[in-house]
Amino acid sequence: MKNCFVLVMLLSLLIPSAGESYAGELFKKKKKKETIEEVKRPVVKKKNKYETLMKSPGIVTAKGDFLTIHKVGQKIYLEYPLKYMDREILVGGTVSATSEPMLLRVGYKYNDPILYRVVKKDSAIVFNKPNLAATAGEDKPWVKRAMEKNYMDMQANSFSIHSYNADSSAVVIDVTSFIKDNKSLAPKISAGSISSSPVSGKFSFEGVKAFEDNASVEVSQPVEASVSMLFSKINLGQVATRSVITFLLLPEAKMRPRVQDSRVGIFFTVNSASDRMQLPIRKISQEKDGFDSYILSNRWRLEPKDMEAWKRGELVEPVKPIVWYVDDAFPDEWRGPIKEGILIWNKAFEKIGFKNVMVAKDFPKDDPNFDPDNLKYTCVRYSPNAEANAMGPSWVDPTTGEIINASVIVYNNIVELINNWRFVQTAQLDPRVRASKMPKDVLDESIVYVISHEIGHTLGLLHNMSASASIPVDSLRSASFTQKYGTTPSIMDYARFNYVAQPGDKGVKLTPPELGVYDYYVIKWLYSPIPEAKDMWEEAEIAQKWIDEKAGDPLYRYGRQQLMLRIDPSALEEDLGDDPLKASTYGIKNLKYILSHLNEWIEDDVDYTHRMQLYSAIQSQYMRYLLNVLYQVGGVHLTQVKDGTAGEAVVSVPRAKQKEALAWVIKELRNSDWINLPELINQTGLAVYPSAKIVAGISKAIVAKGGHVILSSHVSKEKNPYTIGEFYDDLYAGVFAPTIQGRKLTAADRIMQENIFNNMISVSSKHMKGDAIQSLNPSLAEIEAYELCPKGLMEVLHSHVQNIEEELGMNVLAREGLSVEFGQSASPFQDEVKIDAINNSFGYNQAMLKRVVTLLKGKLASANRDDRVHYEGLIFVLEEMKKK
């Protein structure tokens, strides 16, 4: 029955309905046939943009666990996984190749990386800059509401979604312009007055790489380098560069930050929400009336594998050790001491319960996944340039202060620097260094020192320039003391080698310690776990008590490096001991001994090159001995002190010490001709003898100390402090003593009188014109002696900058070329100080000029011809100034 019903239905479909003609039926059949034919035609699918992209000619793809990155000609695309939305990334650049390693070094991170939070908004991907200006100090609803409404993120870049990948797990965005036009990612030289700008029209993408948690693009772009000095600009030419621009995924589970304590020298992280200001982070709570602010210490994430074992006092390994890879470009004989300099820091970590924190390896030769451009790898890199230095830059997560990656860059001529240091500071006692080339044992221990110092920076430690000032000078001549402490309580000081030790001292250690007591102390504060603390604030309270225990002990004092404001004589580079006058007296005695044997000790030097190099180093060392003492004049010791603990924040150098220091320097300048070695100088060309240049340079620096004396007396707690009036009295009595006594002047006398007199006239002239004078900044002589600017650059620019200083006055170079390292506003240590409101020097300056001219006029008749001409010249200069 069912089959019959189906048959009837089929027949009914074949019979035309009423009103339909046969022709109509044929038409319907034809139309139906055509429709069937159309269905059989190939279906043209809509183009898929991702598939099209992947089929682009010449496409280069790098796929990593985090990002996949594509290079299509001169376009760069990121495949950003959706699962990583709302996560934070760092984007920054590192030099991978250069045409001039003196200006840009391989491995150098030329900018702090930029922090972004990646979000998906409608049909776009947005890179937001997280607002780090404030954090919640209390877990309460009102704090959360206040934070949401007042500290929102800032949108930085928006990218249209190009497409989704094949399984729709990631979006594809075009980041070509983001990389190419982003000035913060462009390679740059930024060192003092040296600057650079990218050369337009010569940008190109070179390649792409992808790794576990980061991906990178290598770009080629030359920069135009120049030096700017006031109204003058010197073009240094173009420098070709290749840089690796890296996108790095930050950990989702953040490290607990450690709040910085300014009584220890640690690199710090601040509010980076603004590109122009570095400000402390605000803590939003009602614990205090007003904001409480803080900064974060930079440190590696160091956690015990077995916390319970660590609590029991057992040595445990960290969850993640700090592994260093040593560049295969280093000379083979350097590798051993480089690794030793890295591993030395394990001694400090063992004191706080960790073992094998620091690991040192060569660049792997059989690991195809190893790449020094991968931020997973922390490397010691070799830079074969003429700079005698090393450096240790790092990348930090600004939300916590966690050090993510670091590099140590060692320049080729560090060996030259070590040779010079060892010779001019220890040749009086160590026969091993009396050679044109240092023996391997000396070279090895010196490289270990340099590397361990730079590794200290990468662990978060700043320079501590006051460390060596804690040691009594005579203790540096003691075998028992120096064998225990070396030359300083911290290798983060610039206390090089023992220039105090005398030729007869036996068994005295001539080098810094492997690690000093201050270094152990800071590693404990920075890296010791505090599992009992419930949060970062409670942790900070516990950690600061460790510093409280050492307050007032000079071995644990932190003295920040000074650049523009150089007023603390106990926090200088290249000094030793607690008494600069005594230490410099010992040092000069040794220099005289070394200089008298220079030609005897240095052989196989037919063109005098090496001897002249050492002779130049002796002159620089002598300048530093003089300046170390001169800084006592107007000196103020600065120490960060917590209320309720031992110590004073501001202490002026006692009046008697300042007077003694000024008299000592003037006496030394008057007797400085011992530094001249005509038999060597005259063999290498025509030149002015060094004593004349030293006397001229130090004389200018003496006049510049007037501003320091004003400030020091202003803050002094002495009943009768050393005042600007007494400073001018002592200057007059000391510099013009032979004139007052009617004695014949020496060449040094005339140079000293002329430079001090002329610089006083310059100060007076500028005051009369209404020019603001800030006399707390260092002079050219100080900048060069302490190498506050790169030595190689200063050698090239010396004549130019000397002319600027002579024309525009002292200290102008420092204001233009040095950063205010001593007074960064975010660090609660010491801001820059201006003395305009208390500067009463003009009257005293004028009175001394008048006093000198009266003296000179009274001596004209009795003076010998040379002295009379000298006096007449000084009188004429002052009278001409008055006419203007």
Annotate 225-274 with three-state secondary structure: EEEEECCEEEEEEEECEEEEEEEEECCCCCCCCCECCCCCCECEECECCC
Question: Given a cut of 90, is residue 881 above it in pLDDT?
Answer: no
Farthest CA pair distance, the chain: 154
pLDDT tens digits, 162-202? 999 999 999 999 999 999 998 888 888 766 567 788 888 88
According to DSSP, the residues that pair with 163 across neighbouring strands are: 172
> Which is nearest to 343 in space by CA: 234, 459, 249, 226?
459
Taking a C-beta distance cutoff of 8 angstroms, is the pair 392, 454 a contact?
Answer: yes
Residue type at 747 in one-letter notation: A
Residue 337: other Cβ atoms inside 10 A: 20
Q: What integer pLDDT is reported at residue 385 of this predicted model?
A: 65
The answer to whether residue 206 sits within a structural domain is yes
Q: What is the pLDDT of residues 404-442, one digit of tens each?
A: 999 898 887 777 788 888 999 999 999 999 988 888 999
Radius of gyration, alpha carbons of the chain: 35
Quickly state the pLDDT bin for 284 (edges 50, 70, 90).
confident
Q: Can you tell me the distance from the alpha carbon of 338 to that of 407, in angstroms, rounded to the nearest whole number?
A: 13
Give yes or no for a contact between 185 and 94, defined as CB atoms under 8 angstroms apart: no
Is residue 361 within 8 Å of residue 381, measured between CB atoms? no
Residue 44 has pLDDT above 50, yes or no: no
| 124 class by beta-carbon count within 10 Å (0-12 exposed, 13-18 middle, 19+ buried) | middle
Contact by Cβ (8 Å): 459, 342: no
- Look at residue 874 and tell me if it is in a domain: yes
Beta bridge partners of 259: 296
Given a cut of 80, whether residue 19 has pLDDT beyond it is: no
Of 253, 285, 311, which residue constitutes the final position of a domain?
Answer: 253
Asked if the structure places residue 312 within a domain, the reply is no
Query: What is the C-alpha separation between 149 and 127, in angstroms, rounded?
Result: 20
Place of tokens 């002239």: 765
Q: Which of 368-377, 424-433, 436-445, 605-614 has the lowest mean pLDDT?
A: 368-377
Provide the 3-class DSSP secondary structure of residue 431.
helix
In the chain, how many domains are there? Answer: 2
Confidence of residue 465 (pLDDT cuts 50, 70, 90): very high
Please, what is the Cα angle at 560 between 587 and 660, to 5 degrees? Answer: 40
Given the structure tokens 């000619």, which residue do they identify? 57
Higher-pLDDT residue of 118 and 38 is 118
| CA neighbor of 146 nearest in space, from 132, 156, 135 | 135
Structure tokens at 125: 């991907």
Interval 608-637 mean pLDDT: 95
Whether residue 208 lies inside any domain: the answer is yes
Give me the chain's average pLDDT, please: 86
CA angle 96, 818, 266 (to 5 degrees): 70
Phi, psi torsion values for 266, nearest 5 degrees: -130, 135
Cα 701 to Cα 359, 642, 688: the distances in Å are 46, 34, 20
Q: Which domain holds residue 67?
A: 58-253
Angle among Cα 498, 500, 506 to the nearest 5 degrees reads 80
Mean pLDDT over 45-52 rounds to: 77
Q: What's the sign of the alpha-carbon dihedral 628, 442, 618, 675? A: positive
H or E element, residue 234: strand 232-239
Task: Tell me if 347 is assigned to some domain.
Answer: no
**pLDDT for the residue numbered 817:** 57
Pick the closest to residue 697 from 625, 623, 633, 760 (CA basis): 623
Which of these three, 220, 253, 286, is where a domain ends? Answer: 253
pLDDT at 35: 42
Reading the block at residue 229, the tokens are 């000095």
The pLDDT value recorded for residue 111 is 79
Q: What dihedral angle (degrees, nearest 10) is formed by the CA atoms of 431, 432, 435, 441?
A: -170
Higher pLDDT, 811 or 622: 622
DSSP class per residue in 566-631: ---TTS-TT--SS-HHHHHHHHHHHHHHHHHTHHHH--S-TTSHHHHHHHHHHHHHHHHHHHHHHT
| Distance (Å) of CA 879 to CA 188, 296, 755, 765 | 49, 58, 17, 12
| Rounded Cα–Cα distance for residues 368 and 381 (Å) | 19
Cα dihedral 417→423→426→431 (10° resolution): 130
pLDDT in tens, 648-683: 999 999 999 999 999 999 999 999 999 999 989 988
* Three-class secondary structure of residue 463 per DSSP: coil
CA distance 527 to 519: 12
Q: List the end-to-end C-alpha distance of the chain, in Å, as a whole number.
A: 132
Q: CA 546 → CA 295, 463, 521, distances in Å? A: 18, 20, 9
The angle formed by the CA atoms of residues 191, 192 and 193, to the nearest 5 degrees, is 110
> Alpha-carbon distance 583 to 501, whole Å?
9
Question: Are residues 79 and 165 in contact, defined by beta-carbon separation less than 8 angstroms?
Answer: yes
Residue 133 lies in a domain: yes
Domain membership of residue 361 (yes or no) is no
Q: Are 427 and 602 in contact (CB under 8 A)?
A: no
State how far the Cα of 641 lies from the Cα of 684, in Å rounded to an integer: 53
The residues, ordered by sequence, that sit 6+ positions from 840 with a Cβ below 8 Å of its Cβ are: 710, 724
Say if residues 327 and 106 touch (Cβ distance below 8 Å).
no
pTM exceeding 0.75: yes
Classify residue 635 by burial, with Cβ atoms within 10 Å: 0-12, 13-18, 19+: buried
- Over range 26-52, report the average pLDDT: 52
Distance CA(813)–CA(802), nearest Å, equals 9
Residue with tokens 């070709």: 240
Beta-carbon contacts of 25 under 8 Å, excluding residues fewer than 6 positions away, are 16
- Provide the token pair at 382: 């070799």
User: Is the model's pLDDT at 23 over the cut of 70?
Assistant: no
Tokens 């009036």 map to which residue? 725
Per-residue H/E/C for 102-113: CCCCCCCCCCCC
pLDDT at position 41, please? 45
What is the Cα–Cα distance from 687 to 623, expressed in whole angstroms?
18
Nearest to 558 by CA among 587, 617, 528, 516: 516
Q: Residue 306 has what DSSP assignment?
A: S
DSSP state of 291: -
DSSP annotation of 881: H
Q: Which residues contact 64 (CB under 8 A, 6 or more apart)?
A: 210, 211, 212, 213, 214, 215
Residue where a domain stops, chosen among 230, 253, 276:
253
Q: Indicate if the pLDDT at residue 25 is higher than 70.
A: no
CA angle 528, 531, 536 (to 5 degrees): 85
Residues 289-328: pLDDT tens digits? 667 888 999 999 999 999 999 999 999 999 999 999 999 9
- Judged by average pLDDT, the poorest of 151-160, 676-685, 777-786 is 777-786
Task: Please tell me the distance from the alpha carbon of residue 266 to that of residue 523, in angstroms, as a whole number.
Answer: 10
Other C-beta atoms lying within 10 Å of the C-beta of residue 802: 15
Residue 578 CB neighbour total at 10 angstroms: 16
The yes-or-no verdict on residue 238 having pLDDT over 80 is yes
Residue 272 has pLDDT above 80, yes or no: no
Identity at 586, one-letter amino acid code? Y
Question: CA dist 394 to 92, 183, 203, 378, 404, Å?
Answer: 11, 20, 26, 9, 7
